[in-house]
C-alpha cells in the first residue's frame, strides 16, 4: 500500500498521468486514485491471508510428524559413496554412477564418518 502511494506521488511530482486502457482506471482522477487504493488494500489483505494459511498448514504438517524440507537423496547413499571411494573411484565418477551431484559426494565424504 505504501509503495503504491509513493509511486502515485512520484508520478504526480513528475507530472505523469497513469491511465489503464484495459482496466478502465484513470489515476489522474480522484475516483481512479481511490479505486487504486482499494485494490491495494485488498491485495495486501489477500497476501496476509495466504501467508497465514501457509503457516497454519506447515504447523499442522509438523504436528502430524510430516518431515518438511528438501527430501534426502544423496545422504541415503552415504555408505555406497564411501565404499566406492575406498575402491578408488573419483568423486566425479561416484556422482555419475549414483546419479547424484558431485557437491553431495564431496559433502558426504568430508563429513564425520558414522
- The answer to whether residue 68 is domain-embedded is no
Domains contained in the chain, number: 2
Q: 56 with 82, same domain?
A: no
Predicted model pTM: 0.54
Q: 82 with 58, same domain?
A: no
Q: 7 with 31, same domain?
A: yes
Q: 59 with 78, same domain?
A: no
pLDDT digits (tens, 9 = 90+) for 38-93: 988 999 999 999 999 999 999 999 999 999 988 788 888 999 999 999 999 999 99
Q: 15 with 56, same domain?
A: yes
- The answer to whether residue 32 is domain-embedded is yes
State the residue range of the domain holding 26: 2-63
Three-state secondary structure readout of 10-46 = HHHHCCCCCEECCCCEECCCHHHHHHHHHHHHHHHHH
Q: 88 with 53, same domain?
A: no
Amino acid at each position: 500500500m505504501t509503495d503504491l502511494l509513493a509511486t502515485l506521488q512520484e508520478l504526480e511530482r513528475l507530472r505523469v498521468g497513469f491511465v489503464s486502457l484495459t482496466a478502465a482506471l484513470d489515476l489522474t482522477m480522484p475516483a481512479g486514485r481511490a479505486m487504486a487504493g482499494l485494490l491495494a488494500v485488498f491485495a495486501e489483505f489477500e497476501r496476509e491471508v495466504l501467508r497465514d494459511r501457509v503457516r497454519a498448514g506447515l504447523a499442522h504438517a509438523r504436528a502430524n510428524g510430516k518431515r518438511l524440507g528438501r527430501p534426502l537423496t544423496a545422504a541415503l547413499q552415504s555408505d555406497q559413496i564411501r565404499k566406492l571411494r575406498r575402491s578408488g573411484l573419483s568423486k566425479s565418477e561416484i556422482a555419475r554412477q549414483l546419479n547424484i551431484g558431485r557437491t553431495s559426494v564431496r559433502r558426504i565424504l568430508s563429513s564425520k564418518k558414522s
